[in-house]
Chains A and B, each alone.
Chain A
Amino acid sequence: MEQWIQLTIDGITLGGVYACIALGYTLVYGVLRMINFAHGELFMMGAFAGVYTLQGFQDHTSLNEDLPSLTITAAIFMGIVVAVVLAVLMERIAYRPLRHAPRLAPLISAIGVSIFLRNVMLRYTNARREVYPDVFPDGSIEIGDVSVSYIKLFLIGMSILFMVGLYLFIQRTKTGTAIRAVAEDRDTAALMGIDVDRTIVLTFVAGAALAGATGVCYGMYVGNAAAGMGFIPGIKAFTAAVLGGIGSVPGAMLGGYFLGLSEAYTTKLFGAQYKDVVAFVLLVAVLIFRPWGFLGKREDRRA
């Protein structure tokens, strides 16, 4: 029993990460009907921004020991800034010129951006991992026989916080409403006085902020940042977004947790080496039997 609880906690931890990344895929898909395959790289770049920020504090100050909450906040902030700046640039340089091109063109451009960013970081780091300074307090809380480390609790908490923030942003703010309007009907949204180009940029910004912040928290959790770290979580989050129904914000969250939990239980039932197999079998099954996902809408006559 304890073991299952433990697995559930692991699943929620990983699922939260998938969900936060998946939201970026789903938001961009909503407004552009395009999969931003470079989105996982924003998560990776966020993790690097975080690790370099913390290393900077380590080398020049004693703040990592004295005031870790400050340095962690700064690291998350830098992760957000770097991811947002990159997202704005990639939209401007690689996607916007292809707005009216055939749908495959921006997709390929996105793959190009992804390969480019990964190789820039491979080159910059000489393919080595950057180790996160040990800022987060060690230790865990014990509930019966189940033990949950602080960092795990932190990751679970932060991912929920990020998601709630994003959800309120989409539902409550003027910009969020504009994003939803553009997602439903771009031309009509423009006729309502909504600046569509600006709204699309803001959609990228929202997804990138989430990916960057999650990258930092995830980096702290696994203890390092590496150029290849965005790839698998990126693909998994994409799977989560499709499972939940691409374009649906609650769907991305549900899909993320569903995938995280499936992987955790697979580890126990079939062995860890099967967890990717199960994830992608789920993807294939959903694509065959319910291509619009758990909460997505069936697309009829969308161009």
Chain B
Amino acid sequence: MAPILSVRDVSRRFQGLTALNGVSLDVEESSIVGVIGPNGAGKTTLFNLLTGFYKPTSGEIWFRGSRVDGLPLHRIAAAGISRTFQNIRLFSNMTAIENVLVGQHLHLQTNIATAVLGLPATTNAEQHAVEVAVAHLRFAGLGGRENELARNLAYGEQRRLEIARAIALRPKLILLDEPTAGMNPGESDAMIGLIRRLRDELGVTVILIEHQMRVVMGVCEYITVLDHGEVIAMGTPTEVQNDQRVIEAYLGTGHLKSGAAE
């Protein structure tokens, strides 16, 4: 089967700095893939390229059979890629449910005249949109928090809300940038469960950047290791864990242990 995402020899340079150098990566549909690497390895740059924040200096990105590099952000979102952020970027002055409704933007139909006049046609469409949004919030474990302003939610809840908003786009691929950053082990475990359910229940392909090895090894089926903007290893968690170059990249010499990657 053709991969859902194919990154082909992509490089990105910023003035003198090469953030990514000849990165190639295939992601199979409905897999959970981890991208790891030391700080500054180019992981977030890769996400920014995949979502259209940056254009590759060279190389191509193919998603579901069409080329997406160079497309404007909203077109890539419409093609089925959504993401969350390392430093949470919610619409903080909107309520939880409004955040999810913005995520549903592509799938909403409202007519200005009927909406302003509050006619029944809109009321039905609106009601349906709200029901769907509530379902997304429940999925992310935020049932009952619908009308809370995003900025008043607890940190862990904000991370979950970003995921609820991301799935509201009905994406085929979701990119999670350090979904468990700053979480305690219990919260991390709950997040692992949520990530699995994204794939198992929604059929979404997941790529995640993660520093906590416990999370990476626990949830990812394949792992790509970046260092200094290049792919230095790819494979199953076990293969990567035993790869000499990975061990050197992380620890110089020594062994990659659980949680040692911070």
Contact = CB atoms under 8 A, between A and B. Distances in A.
Interface stretch (A64-72, A93-101, A176-184, A225-233): A176-184
Contacts of B112: 169, 173, 175
B108 interface: yes
Contact of A190 (B73, B110, B118, B165): B73
Contacts of A187: 53, 73, 89
Interface in B163-211: 165, 169
Contact of A192 (B53, B77, B116, B118): B77
A191 B102 contact: no
B165 A177 contact: no
- Interface size grouping (class) on chain A: 20 to 34
Given A184-B93, A297-B93, A177 B105 contact: yes
B91 interface: yes
A180 B94 CA distance: 9
B101 A177 contact: yes
B115 A168 contact: yes
A165 B116 contact: yes
Contacts of B94: 180-181, 184
Interface of A: 165, 168-169, 172-175, 177-178, 180-181, 184-185, 187-196, 297
B173 to A, nearest CB: 13
A79 B108 CA distance: 31
Given A172-B122, A180-B94, A192-B82, 6 more contacts: A181-B105, A185-B91, A188-B91, A191-B83, A192-B106, A196-B74
Interface in B22-70: 51-53
Contacts of A192: 74, 77, 82, 102-103, 105-106, 165, 169
B103 to A, nearest CB: 5
B98 interface: yes
B47 to A, nearest CB: 11
A202 to B, nearest CB: 10
A195 B184 CA distance: 37
Nearest to B85: A188
29 contacts: A168-B116, A169-B112, A169-B115, A172-B116, A172-B122, A173-B115, A173-B116, A174-B110, A177-B102, A178-B102, A178-B105, A184-B91, A184-B94, A185-B91, A187-B53, A188-B85, A188-B91, A190-B72, A190-B73, A190-B74, A190-B77, A191-B74, A191-B83, A192-B77, A192-B102, A193-B77, A194-B74, A196-B73, A297-B93
A-B CB proximity, top 9 nearest: A190-B73, A193-B77, A193-B106, A173-B115, A168-B116, A174-B110, A184-B91, A181-B102, A174-B108
A80 to B, nearest CB: 14
Contacts of A169: 112, 115-116
A193 B94 CA distance: 18
